[in-house]
């Protein structure tokens, strides 16, 4: 049960502990002969270095902390993938924690990450107050993903939601739609920019905006459509705040006997794996999630290496993915 230590390896290889340390870190100033002896001894004993002891002694860390607000959201899975691949390349490990969208739980998750003294911290769409973040930022580099911030010591990575929804509006307008409704994400992260993007794009085309309150879930999307039906004029196209909402809207439309895209076109947001399912085949706006993760990791590592102290604010360009839920209006499919 007890694992061998560096001391054990040193004894077995007939060298000093310091030499083993050099070999383990791949130092060039070790003779070939000793190196192989040490490596053999380590192999025989099944030795593997103790990351915590190393980090304590070297006063450095090769750990990046990641707080995911909600693991259930596939959006984060891809961001984490991006983070992971960059971190790994550069010899860093990820330790991940979840906050469950509750400020209290998130706070504890944050503390527990900090107690590991990671080299940096990536917070994915956190809900903790800014104050907690900026306090932590005094001690280590922090990058926020999918949440903006004005704290000058914090980097941010976001997609340009305004632009993204603008793309959706342009697409629908170019198909001939003029009556386009936005199902709003309410308090949800990034719902604001998306709404603003909708309103300003509509204005740009000289069209009247119509915003219906909704949320980031499929049931909310369905409910919003039911309200629209009750409330009179049905639009020819709907732009949802995200893919789940869009899928809910589609099923409510179909239940009401309205064809998609025959009678109503629907656009989502996020390009989750859900949208790509052939059964759904949703026209949606893609955020470069993997890229966002990569940029977040790079921002962190730049600060860790002391290459930069000014904050960066990445605002990535989303792109429109046209699938089967959009078509010209009235052109009963």
Per the CB < 8 A criterion, the answer to whether 158 and 148 are in contact is: yes
Q: Of residues 1, 11, 12, 17, which one binds DNA by CB under 7 A?
A: 17
Calpha distance 267→324 (Å, rounded): 10
Calpha distance 207→176 (Å, rounded): 12
Q: Footprint of DNA on residues 63-102 (CB under 7 A)? A: none
Q: How far is the CB of 111 from DNA (least distance, A)?
A: 13
Binding flag, residue 57, DNA (CB under 7 A): yes
Task: Judge if the upstream peptide bond of residue 294 is cis by omega within 30 degrees of 0.
Answer: no
Q: Compute φ and ψ for 226, nearest 5 degrees.
A: -60, -40
Nearer to a copy of itself, 29 or 278 (CB): 278
Kindly list the residues in this chain that would bind a copy of itself in the complex (CB under 8 A). 1, 3, 46, 48-53, 55-56, 71-72, 74, 77-78, 80-81, 84, 88, 93-98, 100, 108, 111-112, 114-117, 135, 138-139, 218-219, 222, 244, 247-248, 250-252, 254, 273-274, 277-280
Q: How far is the CB of 48 from DNA (least distance, A)?
A: 7
Binding flag, residue 22, DNA (CB under 7 A): yes
Exposed, middle or buried: residue 291 (CB in 10 Å: 0-12, 13-18, 19+)?
middle
Q: Compute φ and ψ for 111, nearest 5 degrees.
A: -60, -40
Exposed, middle or buried: residue 186 (CB in 10 Å: 0-12, 13-18, 19+)?
middle
Beta pairing, strands 237-240 & 210-213: unpaired
Binding flag, residue 36, DNA (CB under 7 A): no
Q: Which residues, at least 6 apart from 262, have a Cβ–Cβ distance to it below 8 Å?
A: 327, 331, 332, 333
- DSSP letter at 329 equals T
Q: Of residues 45, 49, 211, 323, which one binds DNA by CB under 7 A?
A: 49
Per partner kind, with CB cut-offs from 5 to 8 A, the member of a copy of itself, DNA, none near residue 93 is: a copy of itself
Nearer to DNA, 2 or 131 (CB): 2
Per partner kind, with CB cut-offs from 5 to 8 A, the member of DNA, a copy of itself, none near residue 111 is: a copy of itself
Binding flag, residue 46, DNA (CB under 7 A): no
Report H helices in 231-269: 243-255
Per partner kind, with CB cut-offs from 5 to 8 A, the member of DNA, a copy of itself, none near residue 7 is: DNA
Q: Between the CA atoms of 276, 251, 76 and 190, what dihedral angle is there, to the nearest 10 degrees?
A: 120
Binding flag, residue 29, DNA (CB under 7 A): yes
Binding flag, residue 53, DNA (CB under 7 A): yes
Per partner kind, with CB cut-offs from 5 to 8 A, the member of DNA, a copy of itself, none near residue 322 is: none
Stretch that binds DNA, among 27-35, 98-106, 181-189, 219-227 (CB under 7 A): 27-35
**Site residues for DNA per CB under 7 A:** 5-7, 15-19, 21-22, 24-25, 28-31, 33-34, 49-50, 53-54, 56-60
């Amino acid at each position: 049960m007890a694992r061998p230590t560096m001391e054990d390896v040193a004894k077995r290889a007939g060298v000093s502990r310091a030499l083993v340390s050099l070999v383990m870190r791949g130092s060039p100033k070790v003779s070939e002969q000793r190196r192989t002896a040490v490596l053999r001894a380590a192999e025989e004993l099944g030795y593997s270095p103790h990351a915590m002891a190393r980090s304590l002694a070297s006063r450095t860390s090769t750990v990046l902390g990641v707080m995911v607000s909600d693991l259930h959201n596939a959006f984060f899975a891809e961001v984490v993938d991006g983070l992971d691949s960059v971190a790994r390349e550069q010899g860093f490990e990820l330790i991940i924690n979840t906050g469950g969208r509750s400020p209290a739980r998130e706070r504890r998750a944050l503390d527990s990450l900090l107690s590991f003294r990671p080299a940096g911290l990536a917070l994915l769409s956190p809900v903790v107050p800014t104050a907690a973040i900026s306090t932590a930022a005094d001690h280590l580099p922090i990058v926020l993903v999918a949440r903006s911030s004005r704290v000058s010591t914090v980097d941010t990575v976001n997609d340009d939601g305004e632009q993204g929804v603008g793309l959706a509006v342009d697409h629908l307008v170019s198909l001939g739609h003029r009556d386009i409704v936005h199902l709003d994400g309410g308090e949800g992260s990034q719902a604001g920019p998306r709404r603003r993007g909708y309103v300003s794009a509509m204005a740009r085309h000289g069209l009247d905006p119509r915003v219906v309150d909704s949320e980031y879930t499929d049931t909310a999307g369905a409910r919003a459509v039911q309200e629209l039906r009750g409330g009179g004029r049905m639009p020819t196209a709907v732009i949802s705040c995200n893919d789940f909402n869009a899928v809910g809207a589609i099923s409510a439309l179909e239940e009401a006997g309205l064809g998609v895209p025959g009678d109503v076109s629907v656009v989502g947001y996020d390009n989750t794996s859900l949208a790509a399912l052939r059964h759904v085949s949703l026209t949606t706006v893609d955020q470069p999630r993997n890229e966002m993760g990569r940029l977040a990791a790079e921002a962190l590592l730049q600060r860790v290496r002391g290459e930069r102290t000014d904050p960066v604010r990445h605002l990535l360009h989303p792109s429109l993915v046209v699938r089967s839920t959009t078509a010209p209006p009235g052109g009963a499919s």
